[in-house]
Each structure stands twice: as C-alpha cells, then as structure tokens.
C-alpha cells in the first residue's frame, strides 16, 4: 500500500484489509536509481491527536471512532500532486508489476497506475468498512449474477478528483493518460442492462454514502468475446483476466463451504442434517467501489470456486490417469468459468443452478458471519432484518430464500416459524422482465437431486402459501381456488401437500331428505391423470361416486352420506417445475418493477393474484444510470458546456440542476457550443469505427445508434428492415432526388446474440450482410452507411453514446421492463426513436412529446393484435411485403434468409406469425423515420431538441433510484465519513 503519501492507522479488525500494527506509508525516495518505500511503524504509546468522525447525514450527529487517525490522515487535508503520483507509479512499475522490468510500455503503465490508484482506494475502503463494523449499521446487500462495470481507471481517478494530477504524472513518465486507460480490458462480469444497472447502483450507493455491499461471481471468461466474420457472429472466450486484474484483492482467509447433492437425514427431535455429496469452497475477491467526491468506498465481493489441494488425486496422476486426477478440481473451478453457460443440456442446466446457489450460499454465510461478529456474544436472530436487507437483482438469487431458512433452522437451531418470519422480513426482489422464458423455472427433479434440503424447504413454503390462500379466500368456490393455485403456486404440475388435501376433506351437512356429500381425499388416492381435451385450466376434477347397493343394512353414516372425491391431476406429459419468480414474491417483503409501465404490468398481469393478496409488497423503482460515468467522464466536452451554462458542477451529484438548461434552449451561443461538442464526439466515433470495422463514415451525416443485446423483442430486425426499405427507395431515385429526399445517415448497431439463440444470430448476420452491400455501393456513397460494431461493451458505449444524434429503442410495447441505454442517450443530448415501452414512457414525459419520436402499437393493444393475427385478420402493409421480397431477391448475398423472413409470416405457430409485431409496426416506423429526417434538416430545431433531452433527463439518475430504494425498501440511512 505504498503509492501515495497518505498515512493511515490500522488495527486487528474484520475490515477488508487489516494489519497487525499501525503503519504509515510516507512516500518514496530515490537512492542509487532504486525507488524505495519508507514504512514507519508507530508505537502504541504515541496516539494521534485528531479524531476521525463519522456523521449520520440524516441526524447530523457525530460519533467518534475508537481508533483516531493522525491529523495528516484526514481526507480533505492532503491532495497528492503529480510528483508524488509519479513516484507511486514508478514504485509499482518496479516492485509490484506483473511485467518484466526492462521497459515501461503501455500495459505495464496501466497496471502500475491502477495499483497506485488502488492504494488510495484501500485507505478509504478500510475506513469505510471499519466504520460499518464498529457502528453496526444496517446494511444493504445487493445480490446480482452480473456486474457490467466497464473500465475502472478513469472512473476511479475521476471519483477521487485526481484526473489532472494523474494525467500530468503520466506525461512526466512518457505516456498519455487516455492511452494508458485504453489498455484496461472491460471486466467480463456481465452481459447487458441487468449488470450495468447493478454497477450504476454501486456507484450511487458509494457516492450517496449508503452502507451497502455488492455480491457476485468472479467469472474467468465472462459471457464471450464476439467476432464478426463473413458467417456472422463467432464466440470466443473472453480474456479479461489474461494479464490479471489490478483492482481485485484476493481474500484467502474469507472462504465458505458450498454443498451439492447428498441426502437429508432427520434427527430424533425433528432436526435435519444435509450430509454427503459434493463439497467446494467459495473464495472471496474484493473490489473497492469509490464514491464521487466522498471518502466512502464500498465493496463488491466476488466469489471464485475451488476445492482443497487434498482433493487432487496424486495417485491417479502418477499412474497416468491425469483426467481423473484433475476431475474434482476442474468440476469445482468450472462453476465460475462462464456467465450464463448454455443450458440446452442437463449438464448446462446443472452448472447454471450451481452458479446461482454458490452466489447465494457463500454470500449469505458471509453476511451472517458479519452479523454475528458485530453483535458479539449475544446474537438475537430476531434482529437480523433490523441490520440486514438482501436485494435480489432478478430471479437468479432466488435460492437466497430457502438458504436463509436452511442456515437459521439447521445450523442456528431456530424453529421453522421464526426462520420463515425472519426471511420474509429480510429479502426483497426486483423483477426485470415479463418475458415467460426469463421468469425462471427449474426442474423439480434437478433441484431435488442437486439441493435436496432446499427442495424440502421450498415444498414447505409452497404449503404455507396454499394455506394462506385458503385462509384469505376460503375454498367454497373450488373453480376459483384452483385458478388461483394455477397462477400462484411455487410448484407447477406437482401434487398438493398432504396437509392441504386433508383440509379439503370437508363434510357439509344437509337436510335429511338429501344425502350428505363428503369430500374424502387421501394422499394414497392422488393419481397422475392426463388432462383431457387439452384443457390446461383443469387442475382438479370432482367425481361423484355412485352409492353402492348392498343387501346389508348400511350404518347411519353410510345411510346419510355420498362421497365426492377431489383428485389433483398431475399431467405426466408436462414437466414438474419450480417457479422461481413466485418464490421471490412469496418469500420477500418487497417486489418492485423498474419502470412505471413495467410495474403496472407486474401488478395487473404477471403477479395480479399476488398483488390482490399482498398489495403492500408491490412498488415501482424506475431505473437510473450514474451521471458520473455516463456524462461527466465519458463526455467531457458536453460536461464543460453544462457546467458553464448552469453555473456550477453540482449537477454531477444533483442531476435535477440539468433542468436549468431549459431556459437556455433557444440561446444561439449555447446551440453553437452544443453543435461543436457533438461534432467533436462524432469525429472520435468515426475514427473508432474505422479502427474497429474498417468502414469510413462521414461525421457530417446523422449518427443513428441501436446498441443492446440482440433479441427479437428488441427488434433490431425492424430497424434493419427499415434501412433496407430506405436503401431500396434510394436506388430507385436519381442522385439529385436522393440528396433532396434523404438525410445522410450512419446507422450503427452493436450487441451480442446469445450463443444458442439461432434467430438472434441470424439477425446479426443479416445486419452485417446489409452493411457490406450498402457500404460498397458507389451510387449511395455517404448517404447511407450501416456499421455493426463487434464485441459491444461498456467502453464501446462510452465512445458511441456521446457522438450519437438519434437512438432507437423500439421494442414491442409492454416487453421491455425499463431499458437504461435510452437514459444514457437522452442525457447526452440524443433524441430517442421509440415505442411506449419501458422507461421510454417516462423519458417522453420528462423531455417533452415534441422531443421524442414515437411510433407503434401500445402495450394494451398487443394481446388483441396477436389474437387478430391468429384469426387471420391481419393485412400486411404493401411496403412490408415489398421489403421482404427485396431481401429474398438475393441483393444482400447468397445467404438464405427464408427462416428469418418466414418468422414474420403465417398466422400462428412457434417461430412464425410475427410474434413481436414487426409487420404491424412497420408502416408507423417508416412514417416516424420521415419525421426524423424532416427534423434533422432544421438544425436549429434539432439542436434545441437535443438540449431539451439533456435538460429533461434528470429523473434518470441512479442517485434518485437509490434514494428511493434506501427510503422505501431497505430503510437504511446515509452515513458520511467526515
């Protein structure tokens, strides 16, 4: 920790980094051309005078830490200069760099610089976590399978307010800061919006001084690196860890056992013990997350998996059976190899489930250990929800719910009732999708095999749910009861619990003239019966049994009763599944959507029965993005203009100040500065595109961008078909007519298609084929270019978004939960072309209807439009038929696009019938694009629209979102280290 001449005192603690003595790192001196680090150890007898205070922002009360810091240690009293930073970088280049000493090239310069920055982060990081330990604050824990962080160097020194000194220090050492920063690979810990949101949230949590940690997995290869060839997308392993990761700190002393398979043994007192099976270790890697202009530095703890060296079969290795020797080790390590491994096979499904459980189990063991440590000898588990809140980012961490119960019941000895009550007050769930395939379901057989104890617990939770439904609504109306169970049960196509079957054994007294009908159900009578006539709604059937005629005189009971048998039908043709989203709703105290329209759909459609039962659980928390990374750091030209016209840089942490720009939107001086900043960014984008793709584009053309995960519902296909139609019309005109009718455009795409998503990969191939044809057409020239940027990631976004002028967010209405790239584009003065879907709805409200290009069907129309299609009533627009015929003509090469075009045809069937309504919205989309051209012709109008988009984007800061989570869900308070 030698980089900067900060000094700190450290003691035995459970903070992320601790030392056995109090140590000050003073700086460097040069002797005989060797840079030496001076370490001075302080004796306990020389106590510091000044005390570090921590302030609860909301109460404005100061509390003193037990261990004071020296006066020179305060955050605001020392700002390192370029000379001390250069010394720090030199030290790390010589003594800690993973490169040979002879040269100081860019890769080595990056590592040395990053480790220098990390040193200053660790000081703040230790102080932050030491405070959390000492004061026992309530802490939020964010559980996510993805963190799409992007590069960390510029963000870290920006947050530390050290960009200038670091740039100057590197100049002295012969390098440019931007060139050094470009050598950092993007951390391959995420894929799309889910992971980017999680990273924005961590930035805001630290900036706003909220006590929180993130938990995730340390993927060795991430998703994949995308190459674009003549055959389309090709996936290769991501190599982000090839040279190491200077930001992470391995914690060999922080590891937890994670178990799979085995069996559950019941004890004489009803206790349960999970034994046998496969055992691995989850080991912690910590990444400091700094806040902006604050000392608060929180932690992202990532888990890697391994087994102990004793598991290595040395005997097998020496006998030549190397595969057997390594088998157990590789089996453990592969859990953290790849983000979202393909799940077409049972092995793939098992691996995904192992990943999810590893995240949940290791993180919860860590959280519980911290909870116990902070309380000391007197641990009261009833207070867990007062100190801990676990936020599940989508359904991937659902196993947190049964894992909390397992630990509390099996390990800590609590009763089921207590454990279940504690769990329901500790866990919260963010829903990110209404797509059925993304509302996770797992095979009961797989769960039972891999996690037998958890499956027992899930069955018990399902039973509790059914009992609550019965308690709330009764069972007088069996049809309504079974409809509720069909939507609400956690277990799908699985028999009812015995206790519920017994509850349904009801005796109903009637007058003597009528026989008494008795519902008599025994678990042994439950049979798996096939559903008749394809009726999926009938989960039960009532069968009246004929009274047996007997010569014997019946008993009184037999004489006055007739039995009705209620049989639960399990369809053997359908799989038995566990519905993770339902488990999240049942086991959590809060369920939130991520945009107003999405939350409305969640309440009224996806979880409507749950909403009726527990309306108090449901909330909306519209997503946001951090303005530090997405304006201040990635778009410095625009940032300077905003600061100049607003009159303060406070907008970086108080984005509502952007609204001040509205009163200057017509100012010609502002508009000229705005246009020039956009032009400089476009020139950078043009240079970037040439470097990455070889295509040369004209910066004077309009830059139109659609970058996001490739998926049919996001409708990149609609965009490229619109471009094909534009190209066809251009070809039908003379050169003069083309110039008069069309605005020059550079259409930029980026995004990854999941490796096994065949249709998405066809779309990537189609876009690249269209681009290859159009870009080489001399008649069209600079009037139209189509560029697919390979391996889209955060760093690419940071380049493209500042230079974009229009951006397409054109998902089928009602299918995008929120979207966050639309927010980033709007913040940077880009005008959105979009449907009323996700956060588009709120963006349009904030920036003004005249500053948003709207088209397409509304969410409430979608079901009816699909029904219309099934009934054969849809009549396609002639222009839609024309563009499909044009594609089929072979103008874009020999590849057969019949499957792709065929998916847009027919009235029903999987992969047919245009499920995402490309054809329905196509005419509206073309008309919208004509409006875009018209507006762009008037540059004064367009620039005003751009300014108003930035001015109206203030709502979409992740700072606002985090304040709402903290206030409404987590109930945590900001704490500032002063």
- How far apart are alpha carbons 59 and 815 in whole angstroms? 42
Note whether 785 and 895 are same-domain residues: yes
**Is-contact 578 605, C-beta < 8 A?**
no
Report residue 914's pLDDT band, with 50, 70 and 90 as the boundaries: very high
How much is the average pLDDT of 690-705?
Answer: 97
77, HSE (Cβ side, Cα atoms, 13 Å): 12
How much is the average pLDDT of 854-876?
Answer: 96
Q: Give bridge partners of residue 286 from the DSSP assignment.
A: 249, 301
Return the pLDDT at 354.
Answer: 98
Report residue 289's pLDDT band, with 50, 70 and 90 as the boundaries: very high
How much is the average pLDDT of 59-85?
Answer: 54
* Averaged confidence pLDDT in the chain: 87
Note whether 697 and 761 are same-domain residues: yes
Which backbone phi and psi does 451 adopt, to 5 degrees? -135, 70
Report residue 26's pLDDT band, with 50, 70 and 90 as the boundaries: very low
Q: What is the pLDDT of residues 363-393, one digit of tens each?
A: 999 999 999 999 988 899 999 999 999 999 9
Query: Is the pLDDT at 532 greater than 50, yes or no?
Result: no
Return the pLDDT at 168.
Answer: 97
Most confident listed range (480-484, 529-533, 822-826): 822-826
- How far apart are alpha carbons 670 and 429 in whole angstroms? 44
Report residue 309's pLDDT band, with 50, 70 and 90 as the boundaries: confident
Query: Is the pLDDT at 747 greater than 90, yes or no?
Result: yes
Report residue 76's pLDDT band, with 50, 70 and 90 as the boundaries: very low
**Is-contact 623 599, C-beta < 8 A?**
no
Return the pLDDT at 60.
Answer: 42
Q: What is the pLDDT of residues 637-683, one digit of tens each?
A: 999 999 999 999 999 999 999 999 999 999 999 999 999 999 999 99
Which tokens in the block code for residue 153?
Answer: 């160097």
Return the pLDDT at 50.
Answer: 37
Q: What percent of the chain has pLDDT over 70?
A: 85
How much is the average pLDDT of 788-793?
Answer: 97
Domain that holds residue 598: 381-496+571-621
Domain boundary among 241, 273, 300: 300
Catalytic residue among 183, 708, 745, 869: 708
Report residue 324's pLDDT band, with 50, 70 and 90 as the boundaries: confident
Note whether 829 and 720 are same-domain residues: yes
How much is the average pLDDT of 623-635?
Answer: 97
Number of neighbours of residue 265 by Cβ within 10 angstroms: 11
Return the pLDDT at 269.
Answer: 84
Return the pLDDT at 780.
Answer: 97
Q: Is 714 annotated as catalytic?
A: yes
Integer CA distances (angstroms), 644 to 648, 658, 661, 825, 942, in order: 7, 12, 10, 21, 21
Query: Is the pLDDT at 553 greater than 80, yes or no?
Result: no
The pTM assigned to this predicted structure is 0.87
Query: Is the pLDDT at 558 greater than 60, yes or no?
Result: no
Note whether 697 and 806 are same-domain residues: yes
* CA 946 to centroid of chain Cα atoms: 28
Catalytic residue among 432, 453, 809, 955: 432
Q: Is 603 annotated as catalytic?
A: no
Instruction: Determine, yes or no, domain membership for 291.
Output: yes
Note whether 603 and 699 are same-domain residues: no
Instruction: Determine, yes or no, domain membership for 359.
Output: no
Q: Is 820 annotated as catalytic?
A: yes
Query: Is the pLDDT at 204 greater than 80, yes or no?
Result: yes
Return the pLDDT at 133.
Answer: 94
Return the pLDDT at 311.
Answer: 84
Q: What is the pLDDT of residues 879-892, one digit of tens each?
A: 999 999 999 999 99
Rounded (10°) angle between helices 668-693 and 794-803 = 140
Return the pLDDT at 308.
Answer: 86
Catalytic residue among 682, 709, 715, 955: 709
Note whether 718 and 855 are same-domain residues: yes
Return the pLDDT at 942.
Answer: 98
Report residue 38's pLDDT band, with 50, 70 and 90 as the boundaries: very low
Note whether 608 and 725 are same-domain residues: no
Query: Is the pLDDT at 42 greater than 90, yes or no?
Result: no
Instruction: Determine, yes or no, domain membership for 180.
Output: yes
Catalytic residue among 22, 90, 714, 715: 714
Return the pLDDT at 63.
Answer: 39
Domain harbouring 789, CATH code? 3.40.50.2000
- Burial class, 941, CB count within 10 angstroms (exposed 0-12 / middle 13-18 / buried 19+): middle
Query: Is the pLDDT at 463 greater than 50, yes or no?
Result: yes
- How far apart are alpha carbons 628 and 650 in whole angstroms? 11
Instruction: Determine, yes or no, domain membership for 507.
Output: no
Q: What is the pLDDT of residues 468-500, one digit of tens each?
A: 999 999 988 888 998 999 999 999 999 999 888
Query: Is the pLDDT at 753 greater than 90, yes or no?
Result: yes
Query: Is the pLDDT at 912 greater than 90, yes or no?
Result: yes
Return the pLDDT at 79.
Answer: 76
**Is-contact 588 404, C-beta < 8 A?**
no
Note whether 830 and 735 are same-domain residues: yes
- Among residues 358, 374, 304, the alpha carbon closest in space to that of 129 is found at 374
Return the pLDDT at 36.
Answer: 38
Integer CA distances (angstroms), 288 to 130, 247, 298, 767, in order: 14, 7, 6, 39
Instruction: Determine, yes or no, domain membership for 134.
Output: yes
How much is the average pLDDT of 282-302?
Answer: 97
Q: What is the pLDDT of residues 939-953, one digit of tens each?
A: 999 999 999 999 999
Most confident listed range (500-504, 538-542, 608-612): 608-612
Note whether 879 and 946 are same-domain residues: yes
Q: What percent of the chain has pLDDT over 90?
A: 78
Helix (H, G, I), strand (E, B) or coil at 905: coil
Helix (H, G, I), strand (E, B) or coil at 15: coil
Return the pLDDT at 978.
Answer: 62
- How far apart are alpha carbons 176 and 390 in whole angstroms? 42
Return the pLDDT at 853.
Answer: 98
Catalytic residue among 8, 113, 430, 820: 820
Instruction: Determine, yes or no, domain membership for 636.
Output: no
- How far apart are alpha carbons 976 and 54 in whole angstroms? 6
Return the pLDDT at 77.
Answer: 52
Integer CA distances (angstroms), 764 to 351, 612, 715, 749, 750, in order: 28, 43, 12, 9, 9
Return the pLDDT at 484.
Answer: 94
How much is the average pLDDT of 528-533?
Answer: 34
Note whether 617 and 681 are same-domain residues: no
Of 557-566, 699-708, 747-756, the one with minimum mean pLDDT is 557-566
Catalytic residue among 108, 225, 711, 824: 824
Domain boundary among 300, 325, 359: 300
Integer CA distances (angstroms), 830 to 148, 554, 946, in order: 23, 85, 6
Instruction: Determine, yes or no, domain membership for 886.
Output: yes
Note whether 291 and 389 are same-domain residues: no
What is the H or E stretch that residue 430 is in? Answer: strand 427-430
Which carries the bigger pLDDT value, residue 16 or residue 631?
A: 631
Return the pLDDT at 80.
Answer: 87
**Is-contact 858 836, C-beta < 8 A?**
yes
Return the pLDDT at 502.
Answer: 81
C-alpha angle 187/193/199, rounded to 5°?
50
Return the pLDDT at 533.
Answer: 39
Helix (H, G, I), strand (E, B) or coil at 549: coil
Total domains, the chain: 3
Instruction: Determine, yes or no, domain membership for 355.
Output: no
Of 137-151, 561-575, 677-691, 808-822, the one with minimum mean pLDDT is 561-575
How much is the average pLDDT of 342-351?
Answer: 93
Return the pLDDT at 158.
Answer: 96
Q: Is 765 annotated as catalytic?
A: no
């Amino acid at each position: 920790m030698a980089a900067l001449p900060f000094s700190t005192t450290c003691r035995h603690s459970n903070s992320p980094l601790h030392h056995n003595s109090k140590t000050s790192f003073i700086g460097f001196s040069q002797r005989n051309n060797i840079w030496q680090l001076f370490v001075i150890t302080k004796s306990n007898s020389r106590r510091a005078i000044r005390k570090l205070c921590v302030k609860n922002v909301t109460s404005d009360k100061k509390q003193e830490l037990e261990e004071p810091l020296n006066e020179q240690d305060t955050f605001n009293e020392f700002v390192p200069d370029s000379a001390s930073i250069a010394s720090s970088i030199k030290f790390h280049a010589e003594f800690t760099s993973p490169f040979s000493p002879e040269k100081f090239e860019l890769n080595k310069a990056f590592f040395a610089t990053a480790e220098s920055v990390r040193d200053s982060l660790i000081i703040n990081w230790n102080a932050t976590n030491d405070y959390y330990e000492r004061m026992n604050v309530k802490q939020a824990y964010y559980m996510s399978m993805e963190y799409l962080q992007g590069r960390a160097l510029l963000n870290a020194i920006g947050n530390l307010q050290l960009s200038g000194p670091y740039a100057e220090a590197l100049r002295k050492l012969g390098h440019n800061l931007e060139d050094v920063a470009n050598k950092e690979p993007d951390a391959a810990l995420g894929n799309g919006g889910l992971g980017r949101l999680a990273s924005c949230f961590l930035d805001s949590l630290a900036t706003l001084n909220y006590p929180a940690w993130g938990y995730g997995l340390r993927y060795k290869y991430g998703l994949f690196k995308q190459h674009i060839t003549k055959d389309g997308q090709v996936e290769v392993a991501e190599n982000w860890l090839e040279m190491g990761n200077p930001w992470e700190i391995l914690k060999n002393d922080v590891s937890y056992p994670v178990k799979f398979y085995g069996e559950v043994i019941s004890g004489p007192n009803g206790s349960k013990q999970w034994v046998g099976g496969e055992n691995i270790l989850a080991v912690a890697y910590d990444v400091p997350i700094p806040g902006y202009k604050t000392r608060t530095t929180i932690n992202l703890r990532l888990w890697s998996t391994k087994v102990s060296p004793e598991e290595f079969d040395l005997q097998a290795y020496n006998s030549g059976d190397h595969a057997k020797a390594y088998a157990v080790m590789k089996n453990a390590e592969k859990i953290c190899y790849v983000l979202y491994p393909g799940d077409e096979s049972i092995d793939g499904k098992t691996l995904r489930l192992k990943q999810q459980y590893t995240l949940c189990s290791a993180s919860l063991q860590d959280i519980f250990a911290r909870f116990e440590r902070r309380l000391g000898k007197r641990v009261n588990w009833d207070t867990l929800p007062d100190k801990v809140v676990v936020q599940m980012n989508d359904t991937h961490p659902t196993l947190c719910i049964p894992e909390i119960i397992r630990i509390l019941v099996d390990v800590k000895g609590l009763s089921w009732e207590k454990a279940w009550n504690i769990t329901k007050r500790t866990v919260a769930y963010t829903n990110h999708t209404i797509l059925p395939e993304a509302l996770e379901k797992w095979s009961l057989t797989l769960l039972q095999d891999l996690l037998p104890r958890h499956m027992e617990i899930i069955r018990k939770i399902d039973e509790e749910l059914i009992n609550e439904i019965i308690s709330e609504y009764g069972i007088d109306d069996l049809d309504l009861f079974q409809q509720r169970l069909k939507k609400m049960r956690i277990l799908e196509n699985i028999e009812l619990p015995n206790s519920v079957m017994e509850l349904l054994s009801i005796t109903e007294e009637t007058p003597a003239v009528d026989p008494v009908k008795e519902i008599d159900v025994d678990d042994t009578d439950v049979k798996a019966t096939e559903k008749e006539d394809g009726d999926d709604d009938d989960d039960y059937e009532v069968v009246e049994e004929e009274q047996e005629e007997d010569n014997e005189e019946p008993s009184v009971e037999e004489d006055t009763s007739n039995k009705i048998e209620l049989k639960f039908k399990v369809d053997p043709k359908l799989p038995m599944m566990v519905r993770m989203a339902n488990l999240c709703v049942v086991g959590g105290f809060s369920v939130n959507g991520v945009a107003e329209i999405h939350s409305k759909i969640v309440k009224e459609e996806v979880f409507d029965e749950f909403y009726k039962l527990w309306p108090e659980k449901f909330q909306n928390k519209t997503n946001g993005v951090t303005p530090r990374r997405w304006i201040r750091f990635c778009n410095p030209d625009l940032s300077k203009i905003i600061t100049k016209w607003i009159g303060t840089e406070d907008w970086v942490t108080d984005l509502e100040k952007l609204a001040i720009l509205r009163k200057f939107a017509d100012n010609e001086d502002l508009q000229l500065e705005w246009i020039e900043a956009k032009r400089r960014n476009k020139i950078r984008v043009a240079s970037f595109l040439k470097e990455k793709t070889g295509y040369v584009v004209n910066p004077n053309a309009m830059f139109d961008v659609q970058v996001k995960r490739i998926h049919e519902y996001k409708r990149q296909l609609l965009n490229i078909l619109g471009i094909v139609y534009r190209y066809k019309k251009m070809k039908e005109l003379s050169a003069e007519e083309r110039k008069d009718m069309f605005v020059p455009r550079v259409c930029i795409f980026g995004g990854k298609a999941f490796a096994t998503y065949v249709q998405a990969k066809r779309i990537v191939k189609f876009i690249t084929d269209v681009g290859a044809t159009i870009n080489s057409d001399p008649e069209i020239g600079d009037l139209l270019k189509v560029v697919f940027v390979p391996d889209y990631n955060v760093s690419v976004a940071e380049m493209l978004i500042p230079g974009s002028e229009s951006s397409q967010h054109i998902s089928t209405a009602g299918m995008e939960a929120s979207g966050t790239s639309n927010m980033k584009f709007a913040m940077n003065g880009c005008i959105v072309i979009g449907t009323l879907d996700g956060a588009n709805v709120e963006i349009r409200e904030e920036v003004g209807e005249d500053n948003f290009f709207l088209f397409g069907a509304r969410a409430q129309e979608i079901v009816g439009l699909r029904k219309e299609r099934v009934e054969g009533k849809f009549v396609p627009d002639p222009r839609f038929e024309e563009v499909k015929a044009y594609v089929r003509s072979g103008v874009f090469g020999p590849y057969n696009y019949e499957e792709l075009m065929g998916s847009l045809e027919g009235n029903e069937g999987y992969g047919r019938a245009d499920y995402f309504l490309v054809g329905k919205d196509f005419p509206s989309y073309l008309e919208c694009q004509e409006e875009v051209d018209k507006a762009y012709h008037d540059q004064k109008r367009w620039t005003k629209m751009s300014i108003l988009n930035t001015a109206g984007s203030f709502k979409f800061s992740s700072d606002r979102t985090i304040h709402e989570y903290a206030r409404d869900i987590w109930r945590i308070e900001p704490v500032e280290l002063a």
